Structure 1
Amino acid sequence: MKLFYAPGACSLSPHIVACEAGIDLELCKVNLKTKEMDGGANFTEVNPKGQVPALQLEGGELLTEGPAIVQFLAEQKPEHNLAPKYGSLAHYRVLEWLNYLATEVHKTFLPLFWGGTDDEKALASKKLAKRFQYIEDSMVGDYLMGDDFCIADAYLFTVYNWCKFVDVDTSAWPKLAAFAARMSQRPGVQKALKAEGLI
């Protein structure tokens, strides 16, 4: 399988999950501004959405959208217990977190990364503070779902780390800081970060 990614972008989440699951991926780096891939080809010819992550499967099919990709990867290696059993309440709780992170956290960063006005940036920072505070208050263990790593943690780690690049003050969230430190020491996370040139 081939993962189309941009270093540190939301594609880091499925990259981490693949590493945690022991799935070897071929990596293809994408410049999100120019849509150019390694080698010069146009990424929109692979994924018309023009966004990472995109996962090209062995049969040539393309799977897009991070929450779908991480669920797919987890199901390839169920013995690693990266996602709760399908049909269980915990399974839907993970989907709940993935959707919250995608719609309420991830998308709120857009003005901060992609040239929003000062007012848009101020509003985004205010919304992010509220949303990360909700996550901080919800954490009752080492990870989002308690004491065990799951696929939603890879996404949370990715978006939380964006705060340092856009000057979002994280000092009010000690649980999230401890979570990020814990995550950064996981072998799968280390492997993904090294592969993307982030450490």
Structure 2
Amino acid sequence: MKLYYSPGACSLSPHIALNESGLQFERVLASTKTHQLEDGTDYYGINPLGYVPLLELDDGTRLTEGPAIVQYIADQVPAKNLAPANGTLARYQLQSWLTLIGTELHKGFSPLFNPATPEAYKTIAREKVLSRLQWVDGQLAGKQYLMGDAFSVADPYLFTVTNWAPRVGVDIAHLANLAAFRQRMAARPAVQAAMKHEGLLK
């Protein structure tokens, strides 16, 4: 398998999930600025949408969208319990978390990275994403991870998007449950390995 990624982007989530899975994979750097690979290949020829992550399977099949990719990874190694079994209520709860992170948090941060976004709108966007993170903080009360005491593939996604908060002026320091969650995540060897590979940790 090949994971196409860009440092610190949302592709950090499947990067962590792959490390947790123990599956063999190749990391391929795909710049979200130049849309080229390190060898000069046009990334649009691989993913016409131009963004990461993209997971290329051994047979050449290409899978896009982080929430789908991390569930695929989890299902390749069911013994690792990275996701509840398909068809269970817990699996739908996992999908609920992945959807909320993708639509309410990930996309909530997007305008804050766009230099063309008017400052007045950025203020509104910061307030909205912070309100969602405050709700998540409440949901983490008394829990180690989003799904309870067990790590799941939703956790790297939340960790990844909350990494963006200080870069765009969203203050989450007062969210104690979220801070404790982030510390637990940062201590996981799979997280540290992914972040070191992406140049996010020395």
Q: Give the TM-score band, short-chain normalised.
A: over 0.9
Give a deviation string over 1:77-122, Cα, whole Å, max 9, x none. Answer: 1110000111111100000000000011000111111211101211
- Runs (4 or more) in structure 1 with deviation over 3 Å come to none
Among 185, 189, 192, the residue aligned to 2:191 = 189
2:103 is matched with 103
1:18 is matched with 18
Amino acid at match of 1:35: H
Distance 2:46 2:6 in 1: 15
**Identity rate, percent:** 48
Distance 1:176 1:37 in 2: 35
1:78 is matched with 78
2:164 is matched with 162
Distance 1:14 1:120 in 2: 30
Q: CA RMSD in A?
A: 0.8
For 1:120-135, what aligned pairs fall within 5 Å after superposition? 120-135=121-136
TM-score (norm 2): 0.96
State the SS of the aligned residue for 2:120.
helix
| Runs of 5+ unmatched residues, structure 1 | none
Distance 1:37 1:137 in 2: 41
Give a deviation string over 1:5-50, Cα, whole Å, max 9, x none. Answer: 0001000000000000112221111111221111111111000111
Distance 1:189 1:172 in 2: 23
TM-score (norm 1): 0.98
Offset at residue 195 of structure 1 (A): 1.3
Distance 2:131 2:107 in 1: 14
Aligned residues: 199
1:57 is matched with 57
2:137 is matched with 136
Offset at residue 171 of structure 1 (A): 2.3
